[in-house]
Structure formats: structure tokens, C-alpha cells
A and B are shown apart, each in its own frame.
Chain A
Amino acid sequence: MSGRSVLFDAPGPVTRRRVLVANVVGGVLVAALVAVVLLRLAEKGQLDAARWSPFLTAGPWTNFLLPGLVETLRAAAIAMVTSGVFGLVFGLGRLSPSRVVRAVCGTVVEFFRAVPVLLMMIFFWLGLAQLDLFAPQDLPLVGVVLGLTLYNGSVVAELVRSGVHSLPKGQREAALAVGLRPGQSLRLVEVPQALIAMLPALASQLVVILKDTALGVIITYPELLDSARRLGSGQGNILQSLVVAAVVFIVINDLLTRLAQWLAGRAGRRTAGTASAEAPALTVTTR
């Protein structure tokens, strides 16, 4: 898309013919690849109607997939809110005038961005069992939410920081000039604009949160992948169940991505200058 106008001119007749040939060859190759895969699947009986038709009935959905989806969305929704709060607190902490607060918040944020989410989930799931803080049946949910919050909250903290840094200097100078204190300037002038600037990046972080709830299957959280796996092993169509679960994830995530792009188109008009929150150097927003 992006490279399109950059990389080649409006094609002449010779190029058009060449592109047409390449298109046909490419199309045939793709079709051949798909055909081979489908043939191999059919050979193994994976395309039999019996393995797919259960998904057209209500049973698998009401008994397995929808309850799993509800759990997935529940964990994702809680984690989105808590990550936002964590990110705002630590993002402001990294902008604090106090060197100690900045250093502590910086260390916390960098630490949780470097540790795999799965390790955190396993730690909280098994570790909190020692403390009697939560009912045992809640521990998988708590583990999933805490793991997601610490990682994604740290990414959000970095977004808050980079959003504030991307604002034109005049915003802070004007706020100080009308007599606001630095803290007030941050709270009333800079952060609200930074939040708007970081909306697109924030929305793509929601996709990361939703995808990573699937890690919950490892710590026995009954989310969508777990229910698809149980459904599939019960009915003998594990491959088909996994495909259906994946399609559900893809559809929801694609909608979230589109939302992110739509927000990116709108956000630019609401801030001073051309503020934007980009993924900072060490941030891994691309999971």
C-alpha cells in the first residue's frame, strides 16, 4: 500500500502486460497451493461434513465456545482497565519532577517489559495460592489479569510518556505562563492531549491484550482456546475447533485494528501540533 506510488510509475503497455502475466502466474500458484492443502486435508478426512457440521448447530456454541468467549472477554476487559490505570500511574511517575520516583517507575516499567507474560501468569497463579488472598477457583483469572496488567500497563506507561514528550513545547510553556504549577500543567494540559495522541497505539495494545488471554489455557483458565480444545477432543474434530476459535479471535481483533485505524485518522485533529505517541525504542507493541 504505502510503497505503491513510491516504488513504481504508472505502468505503460509493456509493463501492464508483464504485470498481468505475473498476476495470472501468481494467482495460479496461490490456487495450486490452496488446492494441494485442501486435497491433503480431504485425504485425511478433515473436510468431512461430519467434522464441520456440529458448528452449525447450537450445542457446541452454547456449551463450549460462547462460555469460553465470555471468559476470554471478561479477562481481557478487566485487564484493559487495570492496564490503563497502571500505565497512567507509572507513566506519570516517569514524568515526575522527583528523580527517585522517576527511577523507581522506570525500573518497574523496564522490568515488566522484559519478562515474558507467561512467566508472570504462572508466578501469580501458583504464588498467590500460598497467600490465601483469593478463592482457589479465582486464581487462574487473577493470574491472567495480573500478568496482562503488568506487561501491557508498562507498555501504556511508555505510551503516556512518549505522548507527553511529543507535544509541542509551547503547551507546557503557556500553561506555566498562565500560572499553573508543573503538576497542574501535566494534569490539565499535557496528559489530556497525550491521551488523545496515544489512542491509536492504545487501541492496538487492546489487540495484544485480547490475544494474550489465550495464554490462560496454560494456567487452566477456561477461556476460548481451552473450551475449543475440550470441545474438539470430545467430538474428535480438534483441528476444526481450533480453526473456529482462531476465526473468532481474528474477527474480533480485526475489528479492533480497524477501530485503531479509524481513531488514528481522527486523533490528529484534536491535539496541538502533530502530536503522536509512537512505540518507544524498547517497547514491544507488535505482539
Chain B
Amino acid sequence: MDEGYLARLGTLLEQYDVPAAFWVNIQLTFWAGLLALALGTVLAVMRISPVASLRALGAGYVTVLRNTPLTIILVFCTLGLWGQLGVTLSSDFTSNFFRLAVLGLAVYHAAFVCEALRSGVNTVPVGQAEAARALGLRFSQSARLVILPQAFRGAVAPLGNVLIALIKNSTVAAVASVAETSGLMRQMIEFRPDVVLGIFLVFALGYVVVVVPVGLATTALSRRLAVAR
């Protein structure tokens, strides 16, 4: 790379607000992550409950959502929910698309949160549940007081993987007309194709900077929270 290349890239970076685009992705991740965690926990409880109809509903949800491409879900949210059914989540045009994208990301990743929590439940030894039952706790009590607290701690690592996937998948919100990093990168490359490699590296390294600490943090957290057995 000659000096001219870096100078051209620098000028381009001054013209476009790259950090703002990353901030949109982080916001998408935050809201979708919260929603997915809530919905995924409900689904996980349904899937381990003694009630067959709820178990079947939870399993059906996970099978359908996990096997559908996220791109279809997000296109569905904009063209289907908003375009055809008139579902509006905000009167403001931009934040309407933002919220539809959050909804799509959340329902998709809730299936993976559910599976992560279920794998956490599998880390709880049978003796724990047996002891809870022997003490006379009901299903709801043993789930709430004994199983789930340990399951959450055992599920930190897989939940961290879901979070990393969510951060990266937030770029797919581009198909739901949200102005975020992948759209901005495309604009910048189309405007200045001569520095395409530099533009890509800026965005790629941006994701490395966001994703790697999350990975390290969840790995450290999962070690720290691991139940000593």
C-alpha cells in the first residue's frame, strides 16, 4: 500500500460516519438480544415442562425458526408484516424499520437461546433434580429454585455464542431497510472501488474488535460461574 492509498482511504473515512453505523448494529443487537433472551427463556421452560402441549409448541417453534434463513424472516418482517399486513411499530419511518428488524432478529435468535438454555439444563446432574423432588418441591419450585439457576450458569458459553452470532447477524438487517454497517460498506465501495480492500478491512476489523472481547468475556464468565462439581 503506497501512501496515496492510505490517504485516499482516510479521506473516504472522513466523508462517511462508520462508527455511527456500528452503533446501529450494537443497538440492534442489544434490543434483539434482550427480547430473544426473554422469549427464549419462556420457550426453554415450555420445552422442559411436564405439559405435553406446551412442549410440542416449544419444539415446533424451534424447528421452524431454526431452519428458516434469517434473511427470509427479515424480508418477511418488512414486505410481509409491514407491507402486506400493515403492522406498524412506530409512526416514524426509520424507527419502524428498526423495530421490525429487531423483532425479526429476536424471534430467530430466541430459538437458539432456547437450545442454549436446554443444553444448560443438561449440565445439571440428575441428583440435583432428584434431591429437589425428594425435598418435596414441585416442578415449578424445583425449576425456579434448583434447576434453572444452575442451568443459566452452565449455559453462559452457548449463550455467548448466540450473542456473537446475533452481533454478526445484525448486518442482515440491511434487507429490512435499516441503515447499518453492511449497507454503508456497500455504499462506500460503490463510491470508491479503488480502495475496496481498505474499506473491507476497516469494517472487518471493527467486527473483530467488537466480537473478540465478547467471546473472551463470555468464556471467562462461564469459567467463573461454572458450578463446581
- Chain B positions within 8 Å of A245 at CB level: 72
Do A30 and B189 form a contact, CB below 8 Å, given A115-B204, A239-B85? no
Helix, strand, loop or mixed for chain A's interface?
helix
CA distance A279 to B71 in the complex (A): 24
Distance in angstroms from A78 CB to nearest chain B CB is 18
Q: Say if the beta carbon of A132 comes within 8 Å of chain B.
A: no
Interface residue B28 (Cβ < 8 Å from any Cβ of A):
no
CB distance from B62 to the nearest CB of A (A): 11
The reply to whether B168 and A284 form a contact with Cβ atoms under 8 Å apart is yes
- Establish whether residues A8 and B133, one from each chain, have CB atoms under 8 Å apart when the complex forms: yes
**Looking at the complex, which one of B70, B143, B189 makes contact with A211 (CB distance below 8 Å)?**
B70
Chain B 80-96 residues near chain A, CB threshold 8 A: 80, 83-86
Q: What is the CB-to-nearest-CB distance from A44 to chain B, in angstroms, rounded to a whole number?
A: 6
Q: Is A7 in the interface zone, CB < 8 Å from B?
A: yes
Contacts of B79 in A (CB 8 A): 229, 232, 238-239, 242
Q: Which residues of A contact B193 (CB under 8 A)?
A: 126-127, 129-130
Cβ of B190 within 8 Å of any chain A Cβ, yes or no, is yes
A228-269: CB near B (< 8 Å → 1, else 0) gives 010010000011001001100110011001000000000000
User: Is there a chain A Cβ closer than 8 Å to B34's Cβ?
Assistant: no
Q: Is the CB of B196 within 8 A of A215?
A: no
Asked if A19 and B219 sit within 8 Å, CB to CB, the answer is no
The size bracket of the interface on B is 35 or more
A286: chain B residues at CB < 8 Å are 112, 115-116, 158, 161-162, 165
Q: Which of A5, A19, A127, A218 contacts B200 (CB 8 A)?
A: A127
Q: Is the CB of A114 within 8 A of B212?
A: yes
Evaluate contact between B200 and A7: CB separation under 8 angstroms: no
- Cβ of A116 and Cβ of B215 under 8 Å apart? no
* A139 at interface by CB-CB < 8 Å: no
A130 to B193, CA, bound (A): 7
Please report which residues of chain B, range 116-150, place their CB below 8 angstroms from some CB of chain A when the two chains form the complex: 116, 118, 121-122, 124, 126, 129, 133, 139, 142-143, 147
B189 A126 Cβ-Cβ under 8 A:
yes
For residue A122, CB closer than 8 A to chain B, the reply is yes
Q: Is residue B7 within 8 Å, beta carbon to beta carbon, of the partner chain?
A: no
Q: A211-B67, A217-B71 are in contact. Are A2 and B121 (CB under 8 A)?
A: yes
Given contacts A123-B189, A254-B63, contact A40 B85 (CB under 8 A): yes
Interface check B13, CB cutoff 8 A: no
Whole-angstrom CA separation of A111 from B206 in the bound complex: 11
**Within 8 Å CB of B122, what residues of A?**
2-3
Q: Is the CB of B67 within 8 A of A242?
A: no
- Chain A hits for B54, CB < 8 A: 22, 26
Known: A4-B48, A126-B190. A26 touches B75 (CB 8 A): no
Chain A residue at smallest Cβ distance from B223 = A281
Given known A30-B57, A238-B79, contact A3–B121 (CB-CB < 8 A)? yes
Counting CB contacts under 8 A, is A6 at the interface?
yes
- B175 proximal to A (CB < 8 A): yes
- Among A212, A217, A287, residue most surrounded by chain B Cβ atoms (within 10 Å): A287
Question: B51 contacts the other chain (Cβ, under 8 Å)?
Answer: yes
Q: Are B53 and A246 in contact (CB under 8 A)?
A: no
Q: What is the minimal beta-carbon distance from A284 to any residue of chain B, in angstroms?
A: 5
Q: Which 6 A-B pairs have the closest CB atoms?
A: A214-B69, A253-B67, A3-B48, A214-B71, A116-B168, A26-B53
Q: Which residues of A contact B (CB under 8 A)?
A: 1-9, 11, 15, 19, 22-23, 26-27, 30, 40-41, 44, 46, 110-111, 114-120, 122-123, 126-127, 129-130, 207, 211-215, 217-218, 225, 229, 232, 238-239, 242, 245-246, 249-250, 253-254, 257, 279, 281-287
13 contacts between A and B (CB under 8 A): A6-B121, A8-B50, A114-B204, A115-B207, A116-B171, A127-B193, A225-B71, A238-B83, A242-B79, A282-B161, A282-B219, A283-B161, A284-B164
If A2-B48, A253-B67 are given as contacts, then 14 extra A-B residue pairs at C-beta distance below 8 Å, sorted by A number, are: A1-B59, A2-B118, A2-B121, A6-B129, A8-B139, A19-B52, A22-B51, A22-B54, A114-B211, A211-B70, A229-B79, A242-B72, A279-B161, A286-B158
